Amino acid sequence: MEGVSVCGWLGVGGGHTQWNQLTEADTPAAAQALARICAHFLRAATGLVAGLSPAAG
């Protein structure tokens, strides 16, 4: 998908994520690794936002 940056989304860099070494055979393992990274981030985010409330609009 154009414009998606995993590193930027996780707040660890800018620019676009490069997938230039990914082969068709590697796709399932790469997807699983990405899922683990996202799950780790989401578990950490729960603690980071605990006690926060949305700003009044």
- Residue 8's SS3 state is helix
> Confidence class of residue 55 from pLDDT cuts 50, 70 and 90?
confident
Tell me the H-state helices in the chain: 6-9, 27-49
pTM here is 0.56
pLDDT digit string (tens) for 3-53? 667 777 666 766 666 767 889 999 999 889 889 988 988 888 888 888 888
Q: Whats the size of the chain, residue-wise? A: 57
Residue 41's closest CA among 13, 16, 11, 1? Answer: 11
Cα dihedral: 37, 40, 41, 42 (round 10): 120
